[in-house]
Amino acid sequence: MKINGLFDSELKVISIGLESFRKGLSDSGVKSVQAQFKPPLVGDRKLFEKVEKRVSVVAKANREALAKILAAKPALVGMDIALKVIPGMKRNLILHAGPPITWERMCGPMRGGIMAALMYEGLAKNPKEAEKLAASGEIKYAPCHEHSAVGPMAGIISASMPVFIVKNTAAGNYSYATLNEGLGKVLRYGAYSPEVIERLKWMETGLYPALKAAIGLLGGIDLKAIVAQALHMGDEVHNRNRAATSLFYRAIAPAVIKTSTPAAAAKALEFINGNDHFFLNLSMALSKASLDAGCGVKNSSLVAVMARNGTDFGVQLSGGGGRWFTGPAPVPDALYFPGYTKADANPDIGDSAITETNGLGGFAIAAAPAIVQFVGGKAADAVSYTLAMYEITAGESNIYKIPYLDFRGTPTGIDVVKVARSGILPFIDTGVAHKKAGVGQVGAGVLSAPPEPFARAFEWFAKNIR
C-alpha cells in the first residue's frame, strides 16, 4: 500500500453537497471550500465512460479547434448588400436567428421582423399583405448561421439590406451582419410600423454609403483590438457596447468626415453616437468569424454556435458537421421596462449568444460592472458567473482579458462534455422581446442556456466519437 500522507498534512477540505458540514470544520479552524454541485445533464454513465476512453483524442481535437478560434484576427473589411455577398443569398430568402424553423412555429417577434423585411423589400405594402406572403410558401427561410451570418434578436436579413463584411485575416473566412438599428421600435424586436421601415431605408441610403466609403478609405478596422480594449473599459460587448461603440466611433469618424458631405457625415456619426449598441452587430460578426475558424475539427466537443429563434435554442459543435441540437428556448429573467412583466416576454431569441460562445458577453460579465443589476445587483455575482464559466470551457482567451480577475483571459471554448458532466450551463446576457409582433423590446436580462440542446449534443458526440 502506498502511504497516505493525510495524517501528516494540514487538513484542507472541499465540501460538495450539504453546506452545514462546513460548520464543524470552521469551528476547528480547518480550511475549506464549498463546491457547488449540479447533476450531470445526461444520466447514461456509459456515454461519459466512452468519452473518457478517448479523452486524449478529444483533448487534442479541442486544442486544435481552440487554437484556431484564439488565432482568429477578425477585421471589418468592407460593406455591401446582402444579396451580393452573403453566400447562398437569394431574393426570396430571408435569414433569421437561431436554428431552422418554419413560419408556423415562429414566435411573434420573428414573424414581425419578417413582415417588416417584406415591406422593406417592397414585396408587401402593408402588414396584412406581408403576413399573407410570409405564410404563402413563396418566401424561404434559413438560419443566418448557415450563411456565415449572424443577427441580433429576430436576426432578420433580407436581400437588399446592407451588411458588414468581417474577415478573419488569419484563416481567410468571412462573416456578415446587418447594421444595428438602435433601441425602441426596431425590426430586430419584431416591430414593423412605418417608422421602422423608414429608418431602415435611411440606413440603406444614408448610413451605409457613408460607412462603406469610410471603411474603404481606412482599408479595414481591427475589431479584435477594439473588443480587447472595450473589456478594459467596462463592456462585455453583448448587453453593454458603450465603450466598444465609442472606440469604433473614434476609429471611423475621421474617415467618414473625409469621404462624405458634412451633412451626411454628421447624420451618420450622430446615429452611431446615439446608439450605444451600434457595436453589437460587429461583436457578433467578430465572434462568428472567430468560431467558424474552429469549425470542422473531427472529434472536437467544442460548441461552435449557440443561437435561439424565439422558439428553440440551438447548438452546433465544431466536430458536429453543421448539425443542430435543439431544445425549447427559455424565457429570460430580466429587468423589465415600466409597464411590462415576465408574462409579456418572448422566449429567448437571437444569434447574439455567439458572443458567449466566443468567451464574451455573459462569459466576460466580470468585466462589465455597470450591467450587474441584471444579475442581482452585486459585482461579486457577476464575478461568480464568469468564474463558473471556466468550469465548462476548454481554455482562456489570450487577448480578451478581465481586469478584475488580474487580467485573466475570458473563459473560451465551451466544451459540451464539461457542460454535460458538470451540469453547469452557459450563462447568457440577453435582451427581451415582447411576445407579440410589433411591440419591440420590453427588458434586458440574463439566463442560463437550457439543458436539452447540450444534452443532445453530448449524446450525439459521445456516440459518434472515433
Partner 1 sequence: MIKTVIKRGAYFDSVSLMQVAKKLNSLPGVLDSAVVMATKENKGIIKASGLLTPEVLKAGDSDLAIAVKAKTPEAAASALKAAEELLNKKPAGAETGADRKAAGLDEAVKMLGGANLAIISVAGRFAGALAADCLEKNLNVMLFSDNVPLETEVELKKLAIGKGLLVMGPDCGTAIINGAPLAFANSVRRGNIGIVAASGTGLQEVSTLISNEGAGVSQAIGTGSRDVKLEVGALTLLQGLKMLAADPATGVILIVSKPPHPEILKKITAEIKKIKKPVAAIFLGGEIKEKIKDDFYPSKTLEEAALKAVCLSKGWQMARAREIIYDANLKAEELARKEAARKKSAQKHLRGLFSGGTFVSEAQVILPEIIGPLWSNAPLDKKWKLKDSMRLTGNAVVDLGEDEFTVGRPHPMIDYSLRNKMIVSEAAKPEVSVILLDVVLGYGSNMQPLDDILPPIREAFRSNKGLSIVASVTGTETDPQTRSKVVKGLEAEGVLIMPSNAAACRLAGRIVKISAKK
Judged by the rule CB under 8 A, the positions of this chain that interact with partner 1 are 1-7, 9-21, 23-25, 27-28, 30-41, 43, 45, 48, 330, 378, 380, 383-384, 387-388, 390-391, 422-425, 448, 450-451
**Cβ atoms of residues 454 and 425 within 8 Å:** yes
306 beta partners: 315
**How far is CA 80 from each of CA 83, 211, 248, rounded to the nearest angstrom?**
9, 10, 19
Q: How far is the CB of 355 from partner 1 (least distance, A)?
A: 20
Q: CB-wise, 17 or 219, nearer to partner 1?
A: 17
Q: CB-wise, 335 or 380, nearer to partner 1?
A: 380
Q: How far is the CB of 458 from partner 1 (least distance, A)?
A: 14
Question: Looking up cell 446615439, which residue turns up?
Answer: 274
Q: Give the three-state DSSP class for 297.
A: coil
Find the angle CA(243)-CA(287)-CA(399) to the nearest 5 degrees.
65
Q: CB-wise, 10 or 104, nearer to partner 1?
A: 10
Q: How far is the CB of 245 from partner 1 (least distance, A)?
A: 30
Q: How far is the CB of 324 from partner 1 (least distance, A)?
A: 20
Q: CB-wise, 322 or 377, nearer to partner 1?
A: 377
Q: CB-wise, 30 or 217, nearer to partner 1?
A: 30
Q: How far is the CB of 337 from partner 1 (least distance, A)?
A: 23
Q: How far is the CB of 61 from partner 1 (least distance, A)?
A: 20
Q: How far is the CB of 4 from partner 1 (least distance, A)?
A: 5
Q: How far is the CB of 378 from partner 1 (least distance, A)?
A: 7
Name 248's Cβ contacts closer than 8 Å, sequence gap at least 6.
221, 226, 272, 278, 279, 282
Q: CB-wise, 43 or 137, nearer to partner 1?
A: 43
Cα distance between residue 436 and residue 432, in whole Å? 12
User: How many other C-beta atoms are found inside a 10 Å radius of the C-beta of residue 6?
Assistant: 7
Q: CB-wise, 309 or 422, nearer to partner 1?
A: 422
Cα distance between residue 222 and residue 212, in whole Å? 15
Question: Looking up cell 422566449, which residue turns up?
Answer: 347
Cα distance between residue 292 and residue 63, in whole Å? 15
Residue 221: phi and psi, rounded to 5, are -130, 130
DSSP state of 80: E
Q: CB-wise, 7 or 172, nearer to partner 1?
A: 7
Three cell numbers written together for 202: 435611411
Name 178's Cβ contacts closer than 8 Å, sequence gap at least 6.
82, 151, 156, 157, 161, 162, 163, 164, 281
